[in-house]
Amino acid sequence: MSHIMMTRRLVSGLRRPPPSVTCLMSPLENLSLQTHIPNSIPRRPLVLSYNHSFSSAAHKKDESNSTIVELPPNLKFDPRAKSSPFYGAERVESEHKKRRKEQKQKADDNPVDTKASSSATIDKESDDQKVGNDDVDAGSGTIDEEEEYDDYDDADDEEEDEEEERILYDLSTKPDVARAVPLPQRLHVPVLDIKTGEEVGTFHLSEKTFGNDPIRVDILQRVVVWQRNKFRGKRNAGAITKTVSQVSGSGRKVRPQKGGGTARAGHSRPAHWRGGAKAHGPKGKIQDYTTKLNKKVRKMGVRHALSQKLKEGSLIITSDMAAPTHKTKDMYAMLDRLGIAGKKGDMALMIDDADPNDAENEASVYGGLDVNFKVATGNLKKVKMLNQKGCHVYSMLKFKKLVLSLAAVRSLEERLEKDL
C-alpha cells in the first residue's frame, strides 16, 4: 500500500493506526505527518504537525544577523522614499550575485582564457556526448546518474533564484535619526553673530514661551484656519446681479417647440443667452469670510509654534539684525553662512524688534526693522522679514527656519506671557 493511501485511510478513520506512523507526502518534500494514538482508544482524531525546514543558506545567515531585514514582496513602495523604513540603508547583495560579478570581472580581465576555456569545454562536451552514446548502446546505466546530477543542479539553481529574488537591507547602515534635546537643556541656546555666523554667547529662553511640550497640533490648526479666513477678508461688498424674474424681456415663447431644428426655448431671458440673467451672482450682501478666535487661543498658537521650531532644531538666535550695507550680494554671503537662502539654502522667516534709541543712526531703523537689512533681503525669494508684532503661526509653519534677534525674543516673551 502506498503512503498516500495509508494517509487517506488514517484521516477517514477506516483503520486503526499503529502507535506511530510517519509518511512523506508529495509534492511537499519537507512535510511530515506524525500521529501518536494509543491502541485502547479507537477512532481518535489525528494530530497533524507540519515541520518546515528551509534549506536556503541566505535564510540561515539572516537569522544570525538581526540587522539584515528582508523587504516584503507584497509591499509596493519605493525603499528610497523618506517614509520608508529602509530609507538610507544599504542593500545587501546575495552570494550568488557576488559570484556572478566575480565571474564577469574575470571574463573581462582575461578574454583570451575564457575563449580557450569555452573551446575546451565544447570539445569536452562533444567527447562526453560520444561516451554517453556508447554507454547508452552498451546499457551501462549512465543516463540515470546524469539525471541525478541534473536534479541536484536544478535544486541549486532554485536555491540561487530564491536568494536572488529576496531583497535584503542592512539596517545598521541607516543614518541616526535626529532627536530633540530634552527640557530644560533645550532652552539653553547659542547666540550667533549675523555678520560672521560665529557663536558669541549663550541665552536661556523662557519655558512658558519656548518650552511647551507636547505640541498642541489642534491649536495650531485652529489658528491657521482663522488666519487664512482673515486673509480672504470681505468680498463683493454691495455688488448685485439680476435674476431671471428681474431681467427685462417677455415671457413669450421665442420659437416653436419642434420642427425648426434648433434647441427648444421658452423665453429670451436664460443665463446663457445674450442680455439674459446672471446665474449664481452676488445678491447685494457682503460676503464675509472672517471667523472668530479668542485672543488667548491665538497667543497659545504662537507659543506652541515657537516651541515646535525650537524642538525640531530650526530656531536660530542672533545678537542683532543690522546690516552695514543694503547690497543683496553682501546679504546673500551673510545668510549663506547660516544655511539660509541660495539654491541649497532653506527658507527662513526673520523677526526683529529694533529700537531706534539703541541704533547708531535713528534713520537706519523704521518700523522696528533695520532699513539696510530689509532692503537687502527684499530680492531674496526664500527670506521674509517681519516685526515681532506681525509674527504669526501661518508664516512660522510655512518657512523651514525661524531667525530671531535678542530684541525680538525679549519682546515676544513679554507680550505672550502678559496674561499668563
How far is it, in rounded angstroms, from Cα 51 to Cα 58?
19
Whether 352 has a pLDDT exceeding 90, the answer reads yes
> Phi, psi (5° rounding) for residue 8?
-60, -40
Strand 234-235 and strand 287-288: pairing? antiparallel
Average pLDDT, the chain: 77
Q: Is residue 180 part of a domain?
A: no
Judge if 97 and 206 occupy the same domain.
no
Judge if 264 and 368 occupy the same domain.
no
Q: Is residue 283 part of a domain?
A: yes
Q: Is residue 8 part of a domain?
A: yes
Judge if 314 and 370 occupy the same domain.
yes
Q: Is residue 58 part of a domain?
A: no
What 3-state class would DSSP assign to 32? strand
Judge if 270 and 369 occupy the same domain.
no
Give residue-wise pLDDT tens across range 37-85. 444 444 444 333 333 333 344 444 444 567 888 888 777 778 888 888 8
Q: Is residue 178 part of a domain?
A: no
What 3-state class would DSSP assign to 34? strand
Judge if 82 and 6 occupy the same domain.
no
Judge if 300 and 385 occupy the same domain.
yes
Which of 91-105, 156-170, 234-248 has the least mean pLDDT? Answer: 156-170
Share of the chain above pLDDT 90, in %: 42
How far is it, in rounded angstroms, from Cα 1 to Cα 112?
60
Judge if 357 and 329 occupy the same domain.
yes
CATH code of residue 342: 3.40.1370.10
CB 95 within 8 A of CB 57: yes
Q: Is residue 11 part of a domain?
A: yes
Judge if 270 and 403 occupy the same domain.
no
Judge if 210 and 332 occupy the same domain.
yes
Judge if 403 and 315 occupy the same domain.
yes
Give residue-wise pLDDT tens across range 383-409. 999 999 999 999 999 999 999 999 999
Structural domains of the chain, count: 4
Judge if 169 and 202 occupy the same domain.
no
Judge if 260 and 112 occupy the same domain.
no
Here the cell at position 205 is 529662553
Strand 315-318 and strand 401-405: pairing? parallel
Which of 8-22, 99-113, 350-364 has the least mean pLDDT? Answer: 8-22
Q: What is the structure's pLDDT at 49?
A: 36
Provide the residue range defining the domain that includes 24. 1-53
Whether 25 has a pLDDT exceeding 80, the answer reads no
Q: Is residue 316 part of a domain?
A: yes
Q: Is residue 86 part of a domain?
A: yes
How far is it, in rounded angstroms, from Cα 299 to Cα 219?
10
